[in-house]
A and B are shown apart, each in its own frame.
Chain A
């Protein structure tokens, strides 16, 4: 069960690159090797069979030649024997015993198995095998007939004596005319077959067919089991004389060729030349084993190779993927360590460079964001860097420390810097919280933009909120400063909303994203005015109009230097909900006084202002107007006076 699930999981993981490579290479190898194996195997077997077939055909000719040679030799020997004068003399004695002994002597000379003298009319005269057979009809009448028909009275054939086969030759005994037949015979037995086997390198079997009774083995070189099966094989398995075929004997296959040996009518004798297919195939089977071993070895190597190669790819790839994920999470600095000289290593090196590049860019970006402000940095980075800008409505906020020079007195520069940085950090936070952008710091001053580079729609209100927020934050900061032994800070803020040009100012190699225009200068002047009026925040009329939702105190109508037109300036007091009713009431009384002042009602204005002053003696504004009213009461302004005040200084 475990194996099944394991296998299933492996197959499921076919998606993995390593498994795919493995399966592919392995599959390819198995396919190639298997097809090679089968092709070679089939070709080998076929080849072996063909070679065997050819060999057997040749063997048959060799065999026939062998038999013929033996017959010829027999014939020669018989001829010589029959020509021996002493033998003729012994024969002429007509003495059976003499003739028999002489015959036997001659038989022994050539090592024949049988020698007979048969009269011309077919009666046995002497027979070395059967000494008592004199006078009986010879056992080879057909052979003698054949001899008679031949040219020289000589012939050869297979003869059965006592059911045993003999290769027999017949020659006439000429004295000088044929007086008897000399028959010399060699037994056809296993020894004979063995000699033939040695010459032909095949198994030799001689079989006799008795009509109706099947086959009987006369001699054979086959092993016992196969020899037993051979007669049945001839009866049961199909074969054709002179053609090669396969016999299955005792579960061994033999390529066989059956050839006739004698032309006797009743007793048909055939020779079966056989070669064991297995023996012939033995070298091919060895080759098959070798091939099989090579195949297994190849598979093993393939597996190892595929695994190694896959690993050389998948491992680095996985490392790179992990690295990419780290980069995604912001960790640029950890490098991917793949020490390979190939394409994967190239990729790893490029990846590390990329990481470093990203880290660098990140640093630069954040640095840029720190130097300019994230919003400006973003704006700069997003657009093509070029000088110039676009006209926008921007609320510009200037803030300044009132008593900076005093602060610097008797303090080390380090301390001043620390102090300043704390203050600036706080103020910047307020600006950024309200969606504003710090344009620049000029010493203790802060210049902030609302509406550039990003436009929110309520930028003037944001600027006003920022100014109020700055003052609120200052309170907390001052507490902290007090605890540190640092002096209390006081700031003045000026805001103006106008159409200005926002963009890159400077040179291409050193530029500054800022705003340029009249409105900028006014904002700066307004900030300076804040000290005059003793108010923390001075905003222009445009800002007041744009920033709704605040309670404003009209401060004055002024003509700043360089301008011909007079503008109203205001002080935002806060959101309506934040102001106490007493404050609102005081504001109303002030506005009343201001109207009287503007209406030239000096007395009335003075009276109101006096009351206000008595209630809030620290408010410089009231004093200012009291002074002005007093002056104007003495020396009234011109008739076309619009209530504005002209500032002589900047």
Chain B
């Protein structure tokens, strides 16, 4: 059975549940639909670090949320974590847990910034004020890279190792579910899917995305010889 057919089946069932829930519940605040999403690639493998975003169909960014602070660490010459999803307006701290300096930068249109060579914690966190995908790098360590997914809506989640994630507290309505992954073919264009959620509906979606190979600079160590490559 195809994905579309299957999701339709699921949706149909969900719809029924949602409508029932809405009829019976009546309180919008109590209406908390959730969306469980499985992301896999076309080889059948589960995809981790896939960002699932539920955008309301009619637009709107959904309920405002308090800006939160997020931390992206630098440990052992790597950004930790690799993919971070934040709400627009989130302040992100970039502590340097290494005993060497790093020069964090990004040239992404969503947030172009740079924190020149520093140790410890920069005085000011970086505010990601535009939605989009921000690619981070370190100027003096070519391989150091990370992503920050800045979401317009509060409804986003990231898949775990098993490829599952769930977006909670969704008001009922129609949504465009977007799945993005660093290695998504066609990035930064996400894979999309429309879904309508009823009140208290627990929907499930499965995405199959095409991935491409992305080359990064190889991590260098003192034992790595230059030579020919």
Contacts and interface: CB of A to CB of B under 8 A. Distances in A.
Contact of A174 (B136, B216, B228, B229): B216
A175 B214 CA distance: 13
Given A72-B228, A92-B112, A152-B229, A177 B107 contact: no
B218 A174 contact: no
B137 A175 contact: yes
Contacts of B46: none
Contacts of A440: none
A88 interface: yes
B184 to A, nearest CB: 12
Contact of A83 (B105, B135, B142, B229): B142
A172 interface: yes
A174 B217 contact: yes
B145 A177 contact: yes
B84 to A, nearest CB: 15
B21 interface: no
A562 interface: no
B177 interface: no
A89 B103 CA distance: 14
Contacts of B215: 151-153, 172, 178
A179 B136 CA distance: 13
A641 interface: no
A415 to B, nearest CB: 141
A485 interface: no
Contacts of A85: 105, 139
Nearest to B103: A85
Contact of B216 (A88, A89, A91, A176): A176
A88 B107 CA distance: 8
Given A83-B142, A88-B107, A152-B229, A176 B217 contact: yes
A295 to B, nearest CB: 57
Interface in B129-166: 135-139, 142-145
Given A92-B112, A152-B215, A152-B218, A177 B142 contact: no
Interface string A279-293: 000000000000000
B57 to A, nearest CB: 30
A109 B112 CA distance: 27
Contacts of B218: 152
A174 B112 contact: no
Contacts of A177: 135, 137, 145, 182, 214, 216
B226 to A, nearest CB: 9
Nearest to B140: A85
B107 A175 contact: yes
A177 B182 CA distance: 10
Nearest to A83: B142
Contacts of B228: 72
Contacts of A83: 142
Contacts of A174: 137, 142, 216-217
Nearest to B144: A176
B46 to A, nearest CB: 23
A314 B216 CA distance: 101
B80 to A, nearest CB: 15
Interface string B189-229: 00000000000000000000000001111100000000011
Nearest to A76: B226
Interface in A74-92: 83, 85, 88-89, 91-92
Nearest to B217: A174
Nearest to A175: B107
A490 B49 CA distance: 182
A174 B138 CA distance: 11
Nearest to A85: B139
A103 to B, nearest CB: 16
A89 B217 CA distance: 18
A176 B136 contact: yes
Given A72-B228, A152-B215, A152-B229, A176 B135 contact: yes
Interface string B90-123: 0000000000000001010000100000000000
Interface in A450-509: none
B85 to A, nearest CB: 17
Contacts of A89: 107
Nearest to B187: A177
A81 to B, nearest CB: 14
A174 B215 CA distance: 9
A176 B229 contact: no
Nearest to A148: B213
Contacts of B214: 177-178
A89 B137 CA distance: 13
A92 to B, nearest CB: 4
Contacts of B136: 176
Residue from the set B135, B143, B182, B218 with the largest chain A CB neighbour count within 10 Å? B135
B112 A176 contact: no
Contacts of A178: 214-215
A154 to B, nearest CB: 8
Nearest to B182: A177
A66 to B, nearest CB: 15
Contacts of A179: 107
Interface in A160-176: 172, 174-176
7 contacts: A89-B107, A92-B107, A92-B112, A175-B135, A176-B137, A176-B144, A178-B214
Given A152-B215, A175-B135, A177-B145, 14 more contacts: A91-B107, A151-B215, A151-B229, A152-B229, A174-B137, A174-B142, A175-B107, A175-B137, A176-B143, A177-B135, A177-B137, A177-B182, A177-B214, A179-B107
Closest 9 CB pairs of A and B: A176-B137, A92-B107, A176-B145, A153-B215, A175-B107, A85-B139, A177-B135, A152-B215, A174-B217
